[in-house]
Structure 1
Amino acid sequence: MPSKKKKKSLYNLEEEILSLLKKQKDFLFLRDIYHHLHVPPEKRKEIRRAVKKLLESGKIIQLKRRKYGLPEKFPIYQGKLRVHPDGFGFVETEDGKTIFIPPRKIKNALNGDIVLARIEKITSKGPEGSIVKVVERKRKNIVGYLVKRGKYFFVEPEDPRFPFEIFIPKKRLHEAKKNHLVVTKIIQNTSEFGLPVGEIIRDLGDPEKLETHAWAVIYAHDLPHQWSSKVQKELIRIPDEVTPENKKGRVDLTEIPLVTIDGENARDFDDAVCVKRTKNGYKLWVAIADVAHYVLKNTFLDREAYSRGTSVYFPNMVVPMFPEKLSNHLCSLNPKVERLAMVVEIDFTKDGEIIKQNFYEAVIKSHARLTYTEVKEMIVDKNKKVIQKYETLYPMLEVAAELALILREKRLKRGSLDFDLPEPEVIINMKGEIENIVKRERNLAHMLIEDFMIAANEAVAEYLTKRGYPFLYRIHEKPDPNKFKQLSEIFLAYGIDINHPEELTPHFFQELITKFSGKPYAYLFNFLLLRSLKQARYSPENVGHFGLASTCYCHFTSPIRRYPDLVVHRTLKRALRNKKPPYKEEELEVMGKFLSERERIAEEAERDILKRFQAFFMKDKIGEVFHGIITGITAFGFFVDLEEYLVSGVVRLIDIKDDYYVLDEKGITLVGKNTGKTFQLGQKVKVKVKEVDLKRFYINFELIN
């Protein structure tokens, strides 16, 4: 045991080091500390011991290359914690910083929490730090399996990022069944088992059923899904159909042959289109459901829609932004019934140049509910039976296809990007079972609607900008050159040398997409290119939309399922009446951040459900052989996308017995130490389904030589 004198000596040394660091502007190396404190060589061991104690207590921090200083010189940042299944995490701050957090320094913070993090050192890979405080527990609900051990019940969280089980006292079970998926909330931080104490708030049911997993995702991502009694009361006061009073002062477009074009399973129709040939070129009408007429700002219905931000679509259900009365009935442009709409009317020359554009409130009547398949059969396949069925509308659709192709060509010329990546579509049969997971079709009819919606969105954004009304733009910032530089190293490994322009432009990316076209690795490289871009978001500040090569863009065309579109509708209505704007810029700044976050959560939930459904689909295919392409490389193995189905899985290195494989310096190739055999991105492989984990939703493949 050290003597009191020695302890005092160490304490004095710590004080001296702290005093020295307070006086210094810069961080100091150990040799600087020795020099400033006049420490002889034989005493340096004590200095190192004192420095170690100060580091452990958090009184000083260490930078890369072993420089030391006071933590006050590194401010504390607030951000969202994202925990990796391996235990480490990253704090993403509001100003775009990413701080790495080692497992032991995450403390009691959970994935998704809003935290305060302090940077403790700067490494070659960036800042590293620790969690100082949990500001807000984002994870209200924890989904897991209810298990019984002896006479006690526990919930095993589904999410591997949740570091411990939850003890459930019998009186908190609320009749939940053993081995079912359940939702629990933590009511006490610790118990006799050293685990948090929880209470079951819902038994989701048998984990063998798809519906159970849809509900698991809803609760795991805290998606609001119930309508309050206040919302229900407001709904009662909204009429069931369009009333004569509603139609006053509106343009009557009921005779214009507007049609909706959607997927076979669509239930809400928020856009209808019509195109007419004119002596100068074309006239396009885009009619969008007038949700803002029924949903007034700051009502309970409005607040509930804002809290959701967006509708969330699963293969077997929808979590809507608005109740069914609005989303599937009164605000849905159903065929042969009158509906209120906001209309964008644009006149184009024969070359697709805009002559004039007009915006107004209208009453419309959709002349038909068409599907993408039907439109393709008429326009592309010239199917006589379908043409005969819609003989009065077919000539209009032909003109619409003409205009859409002209607009698409113009958009591509300006640099608009079209990655055309395969999107999975889960086919569910009448029994509620997964029949297939296929590539979602994208034909001329889809492109026609895309092009008309982009034209309408740009027209509204430009009009409101000219009028000086603040609103939410849909922005997509320029890519990070450093991120792209890392990506170009991957391309170089494939013999593709890319000349970096001074500025990354949409045209440059477009040329790359063309360069990859037709190559075996085109799908993968397009995916990597897309990942190198920043995420689009909502903001009152217009910085343009890089992906669409658009200088002025907003979301206007889907107010039933996206709240930002409703914001734009309200602003347009005020602008048309020359009234003051409904939103201030500061208010829109907050809304833009929140609604962008809601969009990310919806995307995560949709990815989560797909991962689960893919595992369910593959569970009876163990032992079957498939062809695939390597889409990701890690130190533990590689990810493979199957060619036969849109399903992803992993080949683990422990299952490849022919050699010992290591990841190369660039992190893009696994190399066999003895054979020199390689696995790299884009490589085609043959795999067998080895194992499907229906608790963690992993699909493990085995390599077939």
Structure 2
Amino acid sequence: MSAREEILNFMRNEAYKPLTAEELLSAFEISDQEKGIFLDLLDQMEQDGEIVQTRRNRYGIPERMNLVVGRLERHSKGFGFLLPDDVEKEDVYINAGDVNGAMHNDRIIARIKGVKSGDKLSGEVIRILERANQTVVGDFEANRNFGFVVPDDSHIYHDIFIPKHDTNGASQGQKVVVEITRWPEERRNPEGKVVEILGNRGEPGVDIEAIIRKFELPKEFPEEVKRYVDEIPEEIPAEEIERRSDLRDIKMVTIDGEDAKDFDDAVSIERLEGNKVRLGVHIADVAYYVPEDSILDMEARERATSIYLVDRVIPMLPEKLSNNLCSLRDDEDKLAMTVFMTYDLKTGELLDHEFMESVIEINHRLTYDKVKEMLVNEDQELINEYEDFIDELRLMEELCLQIRENRFNEGSLDFDFPESRVILDDDGKPVDIARVERSIAEKLIEEFMIATNRVVAKEMFWREVPFIYRVHETPDQSDLEGLNEFIHNFGYHIKGISQETHPKSLQTVLEKVKGEQEERIVNTVLLRSMKQAHYEVQNIGHFGLAIDYYSHFTSPIRRYPDLMIHRIIKDVINQGILDPNRHQALEEKLPELAEHSSLRERQAEEAEYESKDLKKVEYMEGEEGEVYEGIISGMMSFGFFVELPNLIEGLVHVSNLTDDYYIYHEDKQVYIGERTGNIYRLGDSVEVEVYQVNLAERQIDLLLRN
């Protein structure tokens, strides 16, 4: 047990009352020689929010002092929610007047004050542990004696005041990066200085560069990392191949999108006696090339994920690794981490599994389109080209459909919303919005990866080794009750709402609405009642997948948790039982790593969405006056969003509903005309005209055509 854990366990004892540092030194019998180390540890634990020092200089743990530690998610209207570090605690509402200088994404401690509106806890910020916004991106507004920067991020509530001597030559309307020099206080905006001018608003490339700076996304790899990677040998040593399971005689393929460049998973399948099959999932062995705690590893850990913006990829690993050494390219010897899973083909029951370090050779690089053409459209030309693997593909399809059916029978939630891809020209201008269709090819890889991630998590859980799980909590009871009340309007009901709700109850609702007029509205509201999946060292299961054990193992080229999991599995494979020192080191290391990876993932998702959304708005420039048939996709107090056939959303503002006075009913997600009784609800089809496209505000305004 680490010193941190000993201190925390001591303070969690029911008989514990907050003690001073001197009293803790005495209680733990700390010698004079170790006094400085112990006090430094107390300071670090306080900075991390694990313990709290009172005004009387006494130490205790937050949960015993009516305090909650977490990150602040702030709203554009000023209020916010504390998202607790402890995933089992509910979010805490923070009124705008109780934010006390905290900004979006700051790590804070809040004191619980009571309950807001009968359901959500409310609190006030009493301490800011870590500032998240060292720099802010926005538009410069010039004044004679000073300037202001209006942040691009609506979560940042205040404009940034810029003294005249800190404008760095910025002029009206330019997109700039500001470094915060003074944090906000009551009735006082934050102050800053302009440290970079990205260019004039609207210039080519400035928009995406602003997003990169806004989310503080990584740029080029540091020179020392590049030099380290340059020295990695491209040849695999003979002794490394010799010590691994040689699977080069097993036929296997990669199946990815047409434009994929990094291939981190391959699949194989073999028919066994007794109507059994052995599925092989072979994942690039990135851990072999990225030693733990090396300079390359530290850079990958900080990045935590690859980021897929609309016009570029910001990789977690340098190209030599992601697109070459680690990538499972065909007709080359490659190192892999292999999971074999034996199934009963008739029932889809998993009978056995096995992990190993392997050397493999990919026979073909297939694409989703090619697999679809062969399996769905029976394209004879492609079937002839891949005749050595077509039987395996058909067998994979049969297995995929069986285990997919089993998964949904267990209650896994199936949200099948349409997706889109923005097509850009060479100058970065959007020229088309393409629908992304999910065929059996995508489903095949999805099911096999889910099955692998599930097997890995379950095995490591029962081995009781420190691990990183991919978890998804049960929705809050209040959210489920609100959902149940909403769908009751359409004649549906969630069973077991008064007890712990099983995802099967929600999946039953999704099945009932399939093909019905209200399918989209029910799917949308149900999805919004869900919490966000994240990484955690405590296994609490995955609600959305209806799985008790789940992890991320299958994408180590682009996700750091997967890479770390590979290392843990290698330790288990090669040692059987983890060395006690390694066990303790992982217990200390993984919690922070899980939190960091979750934060980076959310950051990447927001940046990816924003870059895509930006180009969608740009695509609609010049479309003013065009008329579309759309579907109401979102309801807010200020109006409703309409999704057009190209999957782009625009806003019908309530002030533009001129035929009546419309009242928004949040519980039913509808607008009802006071005089006419007209109703606009989620999922309704409406005819709209593009009224105004505002690229600066990232907004498309629509008018209803009555």
Interval containing the TM-score (normalised by the shorter chain): 0.7 to 0.9
Q: Secondary structure at the match of 1:90?
A: strand
1:138-189 C-alpha deviation (Å, 9 max, x unpaired):
0122111234445865433223343444455677556767633222212356
Aligned to 1:322: 317
Partner Cα separation in structure 2 for residue 399 and residue 73 of structure 1: 57
* Per-residue deviation, 1:656: 1.3
Aligned to 2:435: 439
Would the alpha carbon gap of residues 293 and 176 (structure 1) be closer, same or farther in structure 2, given more than 3 Å must change? farther
Equivalent AA in structure 1 for residue 525 of structure 2:
L
Partner Cα separation in structure 2 for residue 358 and residue 76 of structure 1: 45
1:419-450 C-alpha deviation (Å, 9 max, x unpaired):
22222322223443212233321100001111
Larger deviation, residues 342-351 vs 102-111: 102-111
Equivalent AA in structure 2 for residue 92 of structure 1:
L
Q: 531, 536, 539: which one pairs with 1:534?
A: 531
> Does 1:113 pair with 2:106?
yes
Would the alpha carbon gap of residues 237 and 522 (structure 1) be closer, same or farther in structure 2, given more than 3 Å must change? same
Check whether the contact 1:437–1:645 (CA below 8 A) recurs between aligned residues: yes
Would the alpha carbon gap of residues 403 and 496 (structure 1) be closer, same or farther in structure 2, given more than 3 Å must change? closer
Would the alpha carbon gap of residues 186 and 208 (structure 1) be closer, same or farther in structure 2, given more than 3 Å must change? same
Partner Cα separation in structure 2 for residue 330 and residue 641 of structure 1: 43
Aligned to 2:416: 420
- The equivalences for 1:266-665 within 5 A come to 266-280=260-274, 281-351=276-346, 352-500=348-496, 502-578=499-575, 580=578, 582-583=582-583, 584-642=586-644, 644-664=645-665
* Per-residue deviation, 1:266: 1.2
Partner Cα separation in structure 2 for residue 515 and residue 391 of structure 1: 41
Partner Cα separation in structure 2 for residue 94 and residue 576 of structure 1: 32
* Per-residue deviation, 1:539: 2.2
Identity in percent? 39
Aligned to 1:103: 96
Would the alpha carbon gap of residues 435 and 254 (structure 1) be closer, same or farther in structure 2, given more than 3 Å must change? same
Q: Which runs of 5+ in 2 are unaligned?
A: 1-62
* Per-residue deviation, 1:585: 3.2
Q: Secondary structure at the match of 2:316?
A: coil
> Does 1:217 pair with 2:217?
no
Check whether the contact 1:634–1:667 (CA below 8 A) recurs between aligned residues: no
Check whether the contact 1:159–1:696 (CA below 8 A) recurs between aligned residues: no
Q: Secondary structure at the match of 2:388?
A: coil
* Per-residue deviation, 1:365: 1.6
Equivalent AA in structure 2 for residue 549 of structure 1:
A
Would the alpha carbon gap of residues 204 and 686 (structure 1) be closer, same or farther in structure 2, given more than 3 Å must change? same
1:230-261 C-alpha deviation (Å, 9 max, x unpaired):
32232133113434343230122223221111
Would the alpha carbon gap of residues 168 and 244 (structure 1) be closer, same or farther in structure 2, given more than 3 Å must change? farther
Q: Secondary structure at the match of 2:205?
A: helix
Would the alpha carbon gap of residues 173 and 391 (structure 1) be closer, same or farther in structure 2, given more than 3 Å must change? farther
Q: 246, 261, 277: which one pairs with 2:240?
A: 246
* Per-residue deviation, 1:670: 1.8
* Per-residue deviation, 1:273: 0.8
Larger deviation, residues 501-510 vs 651-660: 501-510
Would the alpha carbon gap of residues 187 and 539 (structure 1) be closer, same or farther in structure 2, given more than 3 Å must change? closer
Q: Secondary structure at the match of 1:577?
A: helix
Equivalent AA in structure 1 for residue 343 of structure 2:
F
Check whether the contact 1:347–1:357 (CA below 8 A) recurs between aligned residues: yes
Partner Cα separation in structure 2 for residue 345 and residue 601 of structure 1: 34
* Per-residue deviation, 1:568: 1.4
Q: Secondary structure at the match of 1:81?
A: strand
Q: Secondary structure at the match of 1:445?
A: helix
Partner Cα separation in structure 1 for residue 134 and residue 265 of structure 2: 36
Equivalent AA in structure 1 for residue 74 of structure 2:
V
Aligned to 1:53: none
Aligned to 1:27: none
Aligned to 1:201: 195
1:282-341 C-alpha deviation (Å, 9 max, x unpaired):
121111000111111111221222222211111211121111111111111112222111
Would the alpha carbon gap of residues 415 and 79 (structure 1) be closer, same or farther in structure 2, given more than 3 Å must change? closer
Normalised by the size of structure 2, how large is the TM-score? 0.83
Would the alpha carbon gap of residues 82 and 535 (structure 1) be closer, same or farther in structure 2, given more than 3 Å must change? closer
Q: 65, 70, 86: which one pairs with 1:79?
A: 70
Partner Cα separation in structure 1 for residue 545 and residue 182 of structure 2: 50
Check whether the contact 1:139–1:222 (CA below 8 A) recurs between aligned residues: no
Check whether the contact 2:77–2:157 (CA below 8 A) recurs between aligned residues: no
Would the alpha carbon gap of residues 210 and 318 (structure 1) be closer, same or farther in structure 2, given more than 3 Å must change? farther
Equivalent AA in structure 2 for residue 580 of structure 1:
L
Partner Cα separation in structure 1 for residue 212 and residue 407 of structure 2: 38
Partner Cα separation in structure 2 for residue 369 and residue 88 of structure 1: 50
Q: Secondary structure at the match of 2:234?
A: coil
- The equivalences for 1:138-287 within 5 A come to 138-150=132-144, 154-166=148-160, 168=162, 179-188=173-182, 197-208=191-202, 211-280=205-274, 281-287=276-282
Aligned to 1:682: 683
Partner Cα separation in structure 2 for residue 203 and residue 393 of structure 1: 55
Partner Cα separation in structure 2 for residue 508 and residue 194 of structure 1: 49
Equivalent AA in structure 2 for residue 552 of structure 1:
Y
1:655-687 C-alpha deviation (Å, 9 max, x unpaired):
111111122362522222222222222222111
Check whether the contact 1:158–1:695 (CA below 8 A) recurs between aligned residues: no
Equivalent AA in structure 2 for residue 111 of structure 1:
H
Larger deviation, residues 560-569 vs 671-680: 671-680
1:534-561 C-alpha deviation (Å, 9 max, x unpaired):
3222223223222222222221111111
Check whether the contact 2:321–2:327 (CA below 8 A) recurs between aligned residues: yes
Would the alpha carbon gap of residues 195 and 413 (structure 1) be closer, same or farther in structure 2, given more than 3 Å must change? closer
Equivalent AA in structure 2 for residue 117 of structure 1:
A
Check whether the contact 2:493–2:509 (CA below 8 A) recurs between aligned residues: no
1:572-600 C-alpha deviation (Å, 9 max, x unpaired):
11111125264533432332233222222
Q: Secondary structure at the match of 1:222?
A: coil
Check whether the contact 1:343–1:361 (CA below 8 A) recurs between aligned residues: yes
* Per-residue deviation, 1:190: 9.4
Would the alpha carbon gap of residues 544 and 109 (structure 1) be closer, same or farther in structure 2, given more than 3 Å must change? closer
Equivalent AA in structure 2 for residue 575 of structure 1:
V
Q: 131, 140, 148: which one pairs with 1:137?
A: 131
* Per-residue deviation, 1:702: 1.0
Partner Cα separation in structure 2 for residue 109 and residue 512 of structure 1: 40
Normalised by the size of structure 1, how large is the TM-score? 0.83
* Per-residue deviation, 1:635: 2.4
Q: Secondary structure at the match of 1:585?
A: helix
Equivalent AA in structure 1 for residue 75 of structure 2:
H
Would the alpha carbon gap of residues 163 and 450 (structure 1) be closer, same or farther in structure 2, given more than 3 Å must change? closer
Partner Cα separation in structure 2 for residue 130 and residue 372 of structure 1: 51
Equivalent AA in structure 2 for residue 651 of structure 1:
V
Question: Matched residue pairs, number?
Answer: 632
Partner Cα separation in structure 2 for residue 198 and residue 354 of structure 1: 59
Check whether the contact 1:177–1:203 (CA below 8 A) recurs between aligned residues: no
Check whether the contact 2:93–2:116 (CA below 8 A) recurs between aligned residues: no
Between structure 1 and structure 2, the one with the greater Rg is: 1
Q: Secondary structure at the match of 1:435?
A: strand
Check whether the contact 1:305–1:563 (CA below 8 A) recurs between aligned residues: yes
Equivalent AA in structure 1 for residue 578 of structure 2:
K
Partner Cα separation in structure 2 for residue 236 and residue 670 of structure 1: 61
